[in-house]
Amino acid sequence: MTRKEFFINCFLSSVFMTLFMSGVISGTKVGYGAAFLYTWRDAFLLAWPLALIFNLTVLPQVKGLSSWLANIGRTK
């Protein structure tokens, strides 16, 4: 994966995951009435920058850990 693809992937995955998760959690907290859109917007605006930072910093480490765990016990 090129550096450009990495950044685009981090951006898009954080946007879509945050939209979905903040929508579901906001809906379960306040219901899907009039207050929902305002609550969803506020939750998204708080969560998205955190998700983006997480994707840029921690996600590469998680991928490395996943690879290591998947290869435990394999002989070379």
> What local confidence, expressed as pLDDT, does residue 60 receive?
87
How many Å apart are CA 11 and CA 50, to the nearest integer? Answer: 11
Return the structure tokens found at 46. Answer: 């708080």
* Helices and strands per DSSP (H, E), number in the chain: 3, 0
Q: What are 37-71's pLDDT values in tens digits? A: 999 999 999 999 999 999 999 988 998 899 899 99
In angstroms, rounded to a whole number, what is the distance separating the alpha carbons of residues 12 and 1?
15
Give the rounded percent of residues in the chain with a pLDDT score beyond 70: 97
CA distance 22 to 53: 17
Say yes or no to pLDDT of 75 above 70.
no
Confidence of residue 74 (pLDDT cuts 50, 70, 90): confident
Rounded (5°) CA angle 8-49-55: 50
